[in-house]
Amino acid sequence: MANVVIVGTQWGDEGKGKVVDLYAENADVVVRFQGGNNAGHTLVVKGEQTILHLIPSGILHDNKVCIIGNGVVVDPAVLLGEIDDLRARGLFPPNTRLLVSEKAHIIMPYHRRLDAARENRRGGKKIGTTGRGIGPAYEDKVARCGVRLIDLFDEGVLREKIAANLEEKNFLLTRYFGEEPVDAEEVFAEYREYGKRLKPFAADTSLALAREVRRGSRILFEGAQGSHLDVDHGTYPFVTSSNTVSANAACGAGIGPAAIHNVIGIVKAYTTRVGGGPFVTELTDAVGDHIQRVGREFGATTGRRRRCGWLDMVLVRHAIRVSGINALAITKLDVLTGLERLRICTAYENDQGERFTLAVPSQVEALAACRPVYEEIEGWTEDISQARRLEELPKNCRRYLELIANLADTELALVSVGAGRHETIVLRNPFSG
């Protein structure tokens, strides 16, 4: 029996939601360990679409424990909204439990305000954040002045923390950014109410998880964003503010790394990026538009149009290394159907004649100066959504997959050929060791 982490190998939006939902069938516990409602996992179950920003995708299954770990930053209004919405639609099974770490940091109204104000100030150098206050919330966590879920249950502590934070934040907002201040009493009244409603879900989730590990439960750790948005290993500064790599599953959930056995890397069959930052294989032509349209590449959180490009194996190799990925799940392969020729980026080159194959250059300026080196293969035109075994795929489609596995030097665990739960070729069960 194995515990599994799922991470994106690109810049997020790899289709992790569907894979997590599928694997959740075999898991007892599903855990979010980083990020917040900057994520948006789109699930299509029985033809009905659900987008989750905070609650682990396992929630749609019977008899699971869903955990939001200490490494997540929680916007309580969003979390409560998701709970209410799922309940109203009958999608929150009564025998499935949701636990939120009492140590998880809370996104406050001033975090959202600062996120927006900083982005405005950056002008042409915008990161293109989701505007959800994620960065400022993590800043306060590290600066040791953050508000945690447990603080919402203690009126004295909550009032004091909000007042202390606003002394500084209002100075910044009014004097530096020239904006209106945030009212401490209003924030206190609003968040105290959130605390009352969230109390039944609060727990020491590290302890809860340890019990599950002892019991031999199968645990699925659901990464958000992608490897190249990792604050250490990504295309800094065009990254998010958390570690998105697999090792953070241990830290962000409060378990030891030895409790993690398999790491599945999600590779979308092409590349997308939302927000700013270099993108070596970006397509700004009709092919890019085609992929964007067919793949419905709009942000699940912000609705922004995603930038699209060819599959970039330098990104994927880098991600495999920093997360110790031992199997890949290929998603959205069907989106490429109908393209006459397909390209896969195998290396980058620059004007100095340097070649990069294993790692993305550490400086974004150096990355922006790179050109892609492509391998080209013929495409396929047949509908692949009914395929449930590799042998049922057209020859060129199989060649495309073989090329990915060879260039990655990593086996494939799953291939997704459509948005629905069962439009999938399953090659390996990651929980079976």
User: Amino acid identity, residue 15?
Assistant: G
Tell me if 127 contacts ligand IMP by CB under 6 A: yes
Rounded to whole angstroms, the Cα distance separating 90 from 326 reads 36
- 42 in contact with ligand IMP (CB under 6 A): no
Q: Determine if 225 is a binding residue for ligand IMP (CB under 6 A).
A: yes
Among 229, 283, 314, 360, binds ligand IMP (CB under 6 A): 229
Q: Which is nearer to ligand IMP, 202 or 367 (CB)?
A: 367
Contact residue for ligand IMP among 7, 106, 224, 367 (CB under 6 A): 224
Residue 6 touching ligand IMP (CB under 6 A)? no
How far, rounded to the nearest angstrom, does the alpha carbon of residue 219 sit from its chain's CA centroid?
18
30, 203, 224, 320, 399 from 221: Cα distances, Å:
6, 18, 10, 17, 31
Using CB under 6 A, pick the residue from 274, 291, 330, 384 that binds ligand IMP. 274
C-alpha–C-alpha distance, residues 298 and 304, integer Å: 5
Residues 137-176 contacting ligand IMP, CB under 6 A = none
Residues in the chain: 433
User: Is residue 130 close enough to count as binding ligand IMP by CB under 6 A?
Assistant: yes
- Which listed residue (41, 53, 105, 111) is catalytic? 41
Sole binder of ligand IMP in the list 3, 5, 7, 12 (CB under 6 A): 12
Binding region for ligand IMP (CB under 6 A) out of 63-71, 124-132, 203-211, 340-348: 124-132
Q: Which of 13, 151, 230, 312 is catalytic?
A: 13
Which listed residue (42, 240, 243, 262) binds ligand IMP by CB under 6 A? 240
CB 276, CB 127: distance < 8 Å: yes
Q: Return the residue of 50, 70, 241, 331 that touches ligand IMP, per CB under 6 A.
A: 241
The span from the CA of 242 to the CA of 249, in Å, is 11
**What is the number of other CB atoms lying within 10 angstroms of the CB of residue 69?**
28
Binder of ligand IMP out of 13, 212, 297, 312 (CB under 6 A): 13
Does 132 engage in binding with ligand IMP (CB under 6 A)?
Answer: yes
Q: Let me know if 41 is a catalytic residue.
A: yes
Q: Which is nearer to ligand IMP, 44 or 403 (CB)?
A: 44
Residue 53 C-beta: closest distance to ligand IMP, Å: 9
Provide the minimum distance between the beta carbon of 236 and ligand IMP in the complex, in angstroms, as a whole number. Answer: 11
Write down the H helix ranges in 10-60: 16-24
φ/ψ of residue 249, rounded to 5: -60, -40
Give the per-residue SS3 of 310-348: CEEHHHHHHHHHHHCCCEEEEECHHHHCCCCEEEEEEEE
Q: How far is CA 371 from the centre of its chain?
A: 27
Q: Which stretch binds ligand IMP (CB under 6 A): 6-14, 105-113, 209-217, 371-379?
A: 6-14
* 288 neighbors 255 (Cβ within 8 angstroms): no
Query: Which residue in 56, 71, 135, 309 binds ligand IMP (CB under 6 A)?
Result: 135
Rounded to whole angstroms, how far apart are CA atoms 96 and 398?
Answer: 39
For residue 217, give Cα distances in angstroms to 24, 100, 259, 265, 428. 12, 19, 11, 22, 19
How many residues touch ligand IMP under the rule CB under 6 A: the total is 21
- Give the binding range for ligand IMP (CB under 6 A) out of 160-168, 233-241, 327-335, 387-395: 233-241
Q: Considering the rule CB under 6 A, would residue 266 count as an interface residue with ligand IMP?
A: no
Q: Which is nearer to ligand IMP, 274 or 415 (CB)?
A: 274
CB of 380 to ligand IMP, least distance (A): 28
Q: Identify whether 154 is a catalytic site residue.
A: no
Q: Are 238 and 364 in contact (CB under 8 A)?
A: yes
Interacting residue with ligand IMP among 134, 260, 291, 313 (CB under 6 A)? 134
**Residue-wise burial string across 394-433, b where 16 or more C-beta atoms lie within 10 A, e elsewhere:** bebbbebbebbeebbebebbbbbbbbebebbbebeebbee
Q: Which residues bind ligand IMP (CB under 6 A)?
A: 11-13, 38-40, 127-130, 132, 134-135, 224-225, 229, 238, 240-241, 274-275
| Active site (catalytic) residues | 13, 41
